[in-house]
Structure 1
Amino acid sequence: MKAVEWRLPQEIDKSFILFEEKGTYFVYPWHYHPEYELVLITKSTGRRMVGDHIGYFQEGDLVLMGPALPHVWVNDDVYVKGEASTPAEAIVVQFVPEFLGQHFLNIPEIEPFRKILLKSKRGLAIRGKACKMITSLMIKMRGQNGLQRLASLLTIFDILSGTRDYELLASPTYEQSIQATDYSDRFSKITDYIMRNFNNDIALHEIAGVANMGVTAFCNFFKQHHKATFVEYLNIVRIGHACKLLGEKNFNVVEIAYECGYNTLANFNRQFKKIKSMTPSEYRKTLHV
């Protein structure tokens, strides 16, 4: 999938970026950048896509992503329409591997953290105690300067190094193909539309219209850049969301099928087994729910 290269401004007297995102809703497109990024949602809800993973976010959602991993956070319609009671807010930390010197990541003390950075190529949703501790630190960093802010970031590195309470997001087979081209805006529109409507029926002429293309041209364009047809990709997105819901006890399989856009349980089961090589019930058992 093509994505826009999107860069945040960095203060000349700072070794890394600390950025506060505030607005009616998040406006960033489907994008990537060369920095590692830690995103903390402090207000608002919606859907996030990291690589080929799609999931919901809410206040307290914390994700670490490696360089060149495409991602986007899309707020729920209540924010986009300006009807939410609170704005959408997030705290973002970005750093390049050599931000503390060319050999920083090669020193012995960094070895445990280097392993986390390798896993961040797929994106990590941080959970539990680690999430709470890092959230507190990131909120405090907004009022810190100089060495205090740097010390807080190094403490965050230490917390990440010691936790196993995280979820790997993008699939192991996810292939990054990052090239900023004229197609970027088109892919951003397609991705945004899929994320907002994957649980509804999406006709080919409808999504082709979003891309301002004819159906045949759209199908060829989509398969060329996704290595899958639009229908195949839509099923991957839907089943990815189903996997998240299967981890929640308050949803049964029938409810999940309809929530993910399938009109029949039989079709849901068929697509799930095709993609995950097991039934939804078997998948739920692997989660010990």
Structure 2
Amino acid sequence: MKVLQFTPPAPKEDSVIVDEDFLTHFYNHFHRHKQLQITLILKGKGTLMVGNYSQAFRPNEVYILGPNQPHMFKSEPGHFTNPRLGNAHAIHIFFDLERIPKAFLALPEMESISRFLDLIQNGLQLPAEHTEYVAKILKSLEDKTNLDRLLAVIQLFQYFSKEVKGWKSLQTGFADYSFSDSDGMRMNDVFQYTLDHYAEPITLDKIADIAHITPHAFCKYFKKHTRKTYNTFLNEIRINEACKRIINSSNDGISSIAYSTGFNSATNFNRVFRKTTGMSPSDYIREYKSK
């Protein structure tokens, strides 16, 4: 439950670690590790939380998470109610940037890669048009030798730095992820409770009780660590879930989705949806169906 260093299992001599998950659900605890992480989602859906940011994730998406960046891939409830091996399938690449000598990154040939690595500290999502090409490379790493694997990752960084435009930032305004161990446990408990109970009325007293502090202290604490109010965060979780339901269901009406994701009225849902996504639910449906 702590946001502590997580060490991917691999021989010490391996600079690039390839870990393929083929599980009933993703590792759904808020955690971090010193390695940069590249993740290709092959199967499974849910909510990705990176620091104070959250969004839906789905198959055929690639994410880059910075070193020591707290994160969690929270599987959809269906992964748990109907657990089957392979519900969650992903390839994770771990690479410790501290093992790259500074003199090497200072080489003229490494200039673009060095600039790119400075950008990943807060997390990035690869634009969809590059997924097929990058996925092919990530899938091939398992069969490469140590040196070939390292060279392939460096070439991948070169591709990221030169060819990819329009990265999606996994950040909402703050870059300090230096949670202490006690803060990590507290934030993890708050995130987990919110993800599990977003469809229910969550009062300030209740969520403050989960964090084991007073409501007044909780408001200051949450705003300090996330740069947003808890109510804003809760609404983002609810809207993320509403977007998934809109995409995955052709029968549920807007009002039904609004009430099932924790909103007390369709009017309030429409207002929050527009504020969060920049469009109305009906516009969102039309845009999705046009793709």
Q: Give TM-score, length-normalised by structure 2.
A: 0.77
- CA gap 1:189/1:167 in 2 versus in 1, 3 angstroms: same
Corresponding residue number in structure 1 for 2:126: 126
Q: Aligned pairs, how many?
A: 285
Give 1:269 shift: 5.2
Corresponding residue number in structure 2 for 1:163: 164
Corresponding residue number in structure 2 for 1:263: 264
SS at match of 1:94: strand
SS at match of 2:264: coil
SS at match of 1:4: coil
Aligned counterparts of 1:15 and 1:259: Cα–Cα separation in 2? 46
Aligned counterparts of 1:254 and 1:108: Cα–Cα separation in 2? 57
Aligned counterparts of 2:257 and 2:164: Cα–Cα separation in 1? 30
| Contact persistence 1:16–1:99 (CA under 8 A) | no
Question: What are the within-5 Å matches in structure 2 for residues 49-128 of structure 1?
Answer: 49-84=49-84, 86-128=86-128
Structure with a larger share of its residues in helix: 2
2:208 matched to 1:235? no
SS at match of 2:155: helix
Aligned counterparts of 1:66 and 1:112: Cα–Cα separation in 2? 17
Aligned counterparts of 1:118 and 1:237: Cα–Cα separation in 2? 29
SS at match of 1:93: strand
Amino acid at match of 1:149: R
Corresponding residue number in structure 2 for 1:33: 33
Aligned counterparts of 1:166 and 1:32: Cα–Cα separation in 2? 22
Give 1:63 shift: 0.2
1:196-232 alpha-carbon deviations (Å, 9 max, x no partner): 4435432345434544667666556545544554324
Amino acid at match of 2:168: E
Question: What are the within-5 Å matches in structure 2 for residues 241-260 of structure 1?
Answer: none
2:19 matched to 1:19? yes
- CA gap 1:105/1:201 in 2 versus in 1, 3 angstroms: farther
Amino acid at match of 1:145: T
1:129-182 alpha-carbon deviations (Å, 9 max, x no partner): 4211111111111122222212321232132121115322212x2242413322
| Contact persistence 1:5–1:180 (CA under 8 A) | no
2:142 matched to 1:142? yes
Higher mean displacement: 238-247 or 32-41: 238-247
Aligned counterparts of 1:243 and 1:176: Cα–Cα separation in 2? 28
| Contact persistence 2:51–2:177 (CA under 8 A) | no
2:15 matched to 1:44? no
SS at match of 2:97: coil
Aligned residues with identical type, % of pairs: 26
Corresponding residue number in structure 1 for 2:7: 7
Aligned counterparts of 2:171 and 2:242: Cα–Cα separation in 1? 15
2:217 matched to 1:203? no
- CA gap 1:110/1:268 in 2 versus in 1, 3 angstroms: farther
Aligned counterparts of 1:223 and 1:165: Cα–Cα separation in 2? 29
Corresponding residue number in structure 2 for 1:193: 193
